Amino acid sequence: MTTRKHILKYICILAISLLLPTLATAQNKKVTEVEETDSTAFFNGFAVSGDLVGLLQLGVGDYGQFEAALRINLKDRWFPIFELGYGKGKHNDEVTLINCEAKAPYGRIGCDFNLLKNKHDIYRFYIGARYAYTNFKSTFTHPGVPDPKWGGDAKWEIRDVASYYHWAEFVIGVDASVMGPIHLGWSVRYKKRLAYDVGDNGNAWYVPGFGLSGSTRLGGTFNVIIDI
């Protein structure tokens, strides 16, 4: 009987010895899993930004825009965004001699999604979408053509043609932290016209925020971003 008790005692000690490392490993794994749980707040701040591409277009071309954005950070994964700008364009056709002008504010609202597995990295790679709208007026003028009957030049102009554009934008972009709260980023945008009205004239040369008039456009931004 005593021998059986000793054997049972040794078996219990052996079982406990074998079980303790397993329990310790499981406990450590549980602690690690708790430590790895995402503790990022749902609302993780916001950022303001400005686009440099539109300014460059204004400086070297016939049209461009001033544009700023407010972007909300939700857990470093989702980024609702509101963009507001003021676009203007002026062009004189060398063949027809028709001068076209348009200027107006525009707005976009949408959301970006960070695709990187490590969403807390200093880099972000995202896709997104926007709905955009502008209401603007266009002016068309011509210096005139010779009047064969009465002489002189017959000038004509069409002023303040009321127009509007609705369009969607599909966005691919990146940004990276360069110093403290300052980020630099760029995006490529495919623009698709949804609905529009350009008045009785039948066309608009430039659409603020969209670019040259048409059914689709490809554009981009280069942004200086400040986290707040």
Q: What DSSP state is assigned to residue 95?
A: T
Predicted pLDDT of residue 36: 56
Under the banding of pLDDT at 50, 70 and 90, the label for residue 32 is very low
Predicted pLDDT of residue 200: 80
Of all residues in the chain, the percent with pLDDT exceeding 70 is 80
- In DSSP terms, 225 is beta-bridged to 49, 183
Predicted pLDDT of residue 95: 86
Confirm if 122 and 75 have CB atoms less than 8 A apart. no
CA distance linking residue 176 with residue 143, whole number of Å: 50
Q: Is the pTM of this model over 0.85?
A: no
Residue 199's φ and ψ, nearest 5 degrees, are 75, -170
Q: Range with the lowest mean pLDDT among 27-36, 39-48, 104-113, 197-206?
A: 27-36
**Residue 38 above 80 pLDDT?**
no
Q: What DSSP state is assigned to residue 119?
A: T
CA distance linking residue 218 with residue 192, whole number of Å: 9
Under the banding of pLDDT at 50, 70 and 90, the label for residue 149 is low
Mean pLDDT (whole number) for 191-218: 93
Under the banding of pLDDT at 50, 70 and 90, the label for residue 156 is confident
CA distance linking residue 48 with residue 81, whole number of Å: 10
CA distance linking residue 201 with residue 181, whole number of Å: 48
Confirm if 80 and 44 have CB atoms less than 8 A apart. no
**Residue 4 above 70 pLDDT?**
no
Nearest CA to 104 out of 209, 211, 219, 218 is that of: 209
Q: Which residue has the tokens 């966005």?
A: 171
Under the banding of pLDDT at 50, 70 and 90, the label for residue 169 is very high
**Residue 177 above 90 pLDDT?**
yes
Under the banding of pLDDT at 50, 70 and 90, the label for residue 152 is low
> CA triplet 46, 168, 105: central angle to 5 degrees?
70
